Structure 1
């Protein structure tokens, strides 16, 4: 998927948000398609009758509100043609009569169409402008030209159109008739749509919608009629529908063959384990103590602000402002990367090895924590071994533990140390920007980034940096499946089911804090392990949600560090990225004991209680595409920390 492009104005644009595409490879039945169409097009779109009623009752407060309804109505009216078919005006005499892949739409006259058009035309100038009158007038002209020249009823359109032969079997069928057709009728080019620029983000999005809808009718619309077979003449033009790609063709073949959906057995009821799993006291349990030799981070190189999201509002999103996104998630922006996932991982690994002063041949194992790799063979971990020139390691494998990736990776690294007694490279990396599509919840939350740790053996006779660690997994099936990718019901994009995510996060966070409250403080100190924590760096899931859950579990907001305001949720990379940023921002200025809890997709969770020394953190400020081995320059050690959303945290912990 093309995650984003930068237009000529340097603004981020998501093509998948404005040009509807459905992944028909995931669909087996017409019922599945109907479900997607209802969700994406129908539930948010008013009918023409509803628009007219809102006009008559004065329900529209501004011109923008009316225009948004017009656009949603027109997307709904084009719900099948825009997602399944290419429209090709063809002379009636030249139209194939027997092909199975050429279709004609059967249409019904638009009931009270004239009254609906007149109502909108008269209402618009009476309404106040919401932001910019001139801009709104330009957009309205495009939308109204499409709306005013509609001839057909939208609610009775079938997904599967009749072939020409089937159309001819019913002489009373009506379809589009064009008395003439100009193949050079002006339409908007792809770059025209991308390069739209308006000062108001909502109007920029609506302008793109209007242009896409205009392109659905590339002919002189005022001349179009609905005509039956006996009214068509050889020189008349009709609008033939052709499957837009091979996946639509395959879907239509499956429908003709009557292929049914595969039956999947339902989940069993979940039951707690017969006895609790103990926390691992690393100092007591293991002979080789782990030391964090280095931590390095690679941020995304492209900022996607909340305004950028609104500029790219998809046709299936409910209205939401940039401020509302911030309030709901605590996120002001997220960082995307123009680099592939593999390069992000490689940059982080190289930086961590450099900071640790380690050569690749000294590394005993490579663990990559990620849930967004599409690489199956070889694993990303073994790929990194090859790129880094590691001739042989004890083990290299990927860990799919999503937002608990870092606790899982660190736990495996500690165990591996016992066997290899040499450093283990743990890389946490995610690239979500190309796996979201137009799913709003996911687009609001997720970002890209990478971080790497070198976990080596502590010198004999010294304490390691990790006090306790623990991992968890599973729960009710609803929580296990609370975040899905690929999700066939959402065009194989990442989807998040918020209430279930909140349930599993609250369950695990409460359990972790309770367990730490019962453990003794290390080094013979008074109180509990929880009392000995200097800083909590949680998985950066959703700031608003995590603070609420933490307070419910007895914590206060000023005990937690967040960088999610600036980078978004980077899943497995979020905790080490946040630790890096806490050092960069001056929140961590001396060795501190950190509690790092992670929780997320698959109902997995885990934590590490560890000592973080800012001296081992490779502070970097930029990430740019580079040739292998050319790393972004680190910030000078004496550079004053930059202002950030974590300013309050610096004051609280220094």
Structure 2
């Protein structure tokens, strides 16, 4: 499934946020599946009893609030069928009786179902509209046509359905029966769902939910009932369940074979090093001094605003407004790229070489700092060497230090200068947009982008552009694992555990400030290294969090530069992208000394104290949308349906 597409209205849509897809290749046991299902579908979903109690208590303030709960309940009721099976209405006479891959759901009547349905039906018109009554009525009609014709209890549905033979072993088992079935019953096309456009972002998301739920019951719902096998005639239709794909088939096969549990080790209590690691005084430690010859940036070409996130609210997200996202993270928008991570890296590298006036054959080493590479063999660094026409370099390798990638990369480049005595190309690149799925915290924060720097040897007698370097790693296991990818428990998407991330960031930032406050002024003046800093350009993790941590460490917000409001968190690329934007926006208009701290996944951290001359920055203008961003033209959707008996007319 595409990470994002642009619909015919030019709006960004995340298909995975409304069309659930689980990666069953990562699952071995029902317990693992249950954990994912419980988190994605059950935690936020009220039961029918909950909804009825809220109706009676007058807990719903608006029609939207009631509709949202109904939709969440229906996603929960379809939690296994929507993720594991295709539903195929089939004549009872034509249902295979002995195949191992054809299943019939065993259903229980919905206790007090008529009362719950009636409660919702009567409550809705008594509530005020939240934003747009006509729009809300259209959405409610789709949702209620599904909810109002439900006959089965949701809490007793198992993930693994019985085969037809197993179903028949218990004469009292109930399953779906359709007296009549029309294979041309109208459903919403994929592009119909993508092309939904409502003025209110929350209603646009809810409208898509309703359409997906409608497609889960592609028949006239008023014809649906529960029946025992003995009550079925040859011309009755039942709803046979078939595994959605080969991964679901393999998962069911593993369950049947009793896959062994994977052993997991327990982490030891962390212990501090026997003695502290000192910061590296570059001028005192190295004979070949580093000079920043160029810095170039490539931003993502597609803007994803906070409103875009709300338009794509997933069925497992808690309610949150665009303003609340801004308040929580300091982010107004993040930028995604239509390009691959390789293309982003290549564009940044070419721009940096051009700005430095360097030919590929002059480069001694290539380092790529990334935690989202799409390739292991060859490394992205060696791939770039080939694309840039470098027949041979001293070393080329990828460096995984996540949000501390830039300090790690600059530190390695400085060390390599001592050996190669020729420029080192450092590329920091990330593409998160296709690794997030429907994980809300990650979707709120991360963006795509790339930056590249040429770090060369300073001329004989010339000054270094880098004063001090320091890197760190590790901590308590909870902090080391505070940002994970791939993570099977979150369907192999990037997962952020906020409190642990805040703990490691606060720990490292305090340590950094303490250290640079104790180091001497690099120019021999009175005061400390901290006193010499003109501007702090931190890793753009979460503006609200970083400001809080910085103030706790004794800094003020006006000492820090942020561009996260416009680009999001781009991990290893965030600091050099911020430097670029500070030059572009005139914040850096003359040579300045900056303090650039990074901290993040793996409990890694690092900083560089370095001189930035705006003359070496290749300033990029506004990024135009890439021509491949829209994937494919989207046809206009048909009229939306409001109830089963109106479906044919509505779909035209």
What TM-score does the superposition give when structure 2 sets the normalisation length? 0.96
Cα offsets for 1:64-113 (capped at 9, x unmatched): 00000000000000000000000000000000000000000000001111
Cross-structure match for 1:354: 354
User: In structure 1, what is the Cα distance between the partners aligned to 2:501 and 2:2?
Assistant: 27
Cross-structure match for 1:573: 573
Cross-structure match for 1:254: 254
Asked if 1 retains the 8 angstrom alpha-carbon contact of 2:338 and 2:626, the reply is no
Residue 82 (str. 1) matches residue 110 (str. 2): no
User: In structure 2, what is the Cα distance between the partners aligned to 1:623 and 1:104?
Assistant: 53
Cα offsets for 1:454-496 (capped at 9, x unmatched): 0000001111100000100000000000000000000000000
User: In structure 2, what is the Cα distance between the partners aligned to 1:366 and 1:467?
Assistant: 22
User: In structure 2, what is the Cα distance between the partners aligned to 1:376 and 1:623?
Assistant: 29
Cross-structure match for 1:188: 188
Q: How many aligned residue pairs are there?
A: 627
Deviation at 1:572, TM superposition (A): 0.1
Cross-structure match for 1:155: 155
User: In structure 1, what is the Cα distance between the partners aligned to 2:433 and 2:268?
Assistant: 34
Say which SS state the counterpart of residue 264 (structure 1) adopts: coil
Structure with larger RCO (C-alpha < 8 A, sep 6+):
2
Residue 174 (str. 1) matches residue 174 (str. 2): yes
Deviation at 1:261, TM superposition (A): 1.9
4+ runs deviating over 6 angstroms: none
Residue 526 (str. 1) matches residue 526 (str. 2): yes
Cross-structure match for 1:647: none
Q: How does 1:317-466 map to 2 (within 5 A)?
A: 317-466=317-466
Asked if 1 retains the 8 angstrom alpha-carbon contact of 2:151 and 2:225, the reply is yes
Asked if 2 retains the 8 angstrom alpha-carbon contact of 1:543 and 1:564, the reply is yes
Residue 515 (str. 1) matches residue 523 (str. 2): no
User: In structure 2, what is the Cα distance between the partners aligned to 1:9 and 1:345?
Assistant: 30
Say which SS state the counterpart of residue 438 (structure 2) adopts: coil
Say which SS state the counterpart of residue 511 (structure 1) adopts: helix
Cross-structure match for 1:632: none
Deviating more after overlay: 31-40 vs 292-301 = 31-40
User: In structure 1, what is the Cα distance between the partners aligned to 2:73 and 2:578?
Assistant: 43
Structure 2: runs of 5 or more not aligned = 628-652
User: In structure 1, what is the Cα distance between the partners aligned to 2:260 and 2:193?
Assistant: 39
Asked if 1 retains the 8 angstrom alpha-carbon contact of 2:381 and 2:398, the reply is yes
Cα offsets for 1:519-562 (capped at 9, x unmatched): 00011111000010000000000000000000000000000000
User: In structure 2, what is the Cα distance between the partners aligned to 1:519 and 1:127?
Assistant: 65
User: In structure 2, what is the Cα distance between the partners aligned to 1:222 and 1:172?
Assistant: 23
Cross-structure match for 1:110: 110
Asked if 2 retains the 8 angstrom alpha-carbon contact of 1:198 and 1:204, the reply is yes
Say which SS state the counterpart of residue 278 (structure 1) adopts: coil
Over the aligned positions, Cα root-mean-square deviation in angstroms equals 0.8
Deviation at 1:624, TM superposition (A): 5.0
Asked if 1 retains the 8 angstrom alpha-carbon contact of 2:188 and 2:211, the reply is yes
Asked if 2 retains the 8 angstrom alpha-carbon contact of 1:339 and 1:625, the reply is no
What TM-score does the superposition give when structure 1 sets the normalisation length? 0.95
Asked if 2 retains the 8 angstrom alpha-carbon contact of 1:298 and 1:622, the reply is no
Say which SS state the counterpart of residue 146 (structure 2) adopts: helix
User: In structure 1, what is the Cα distance between the partners aligned to 2:455 and 2:492?
Assistant: 36
Structure 1: runs of 5 or more not aligned = 628-654
Asked if 1 retains the 8 angstrom alpha-carbon contact of 2:302 and 2:625, the reply is no
Deviation at 1:625, TM superposition (A): 7.6
Deviation at 1:623, TM superposition (A): 3.8
Cα offsets for 1:561-620 (capped at 9, x unmatched): 000000000000000000000000000000000000000000000000000000000000
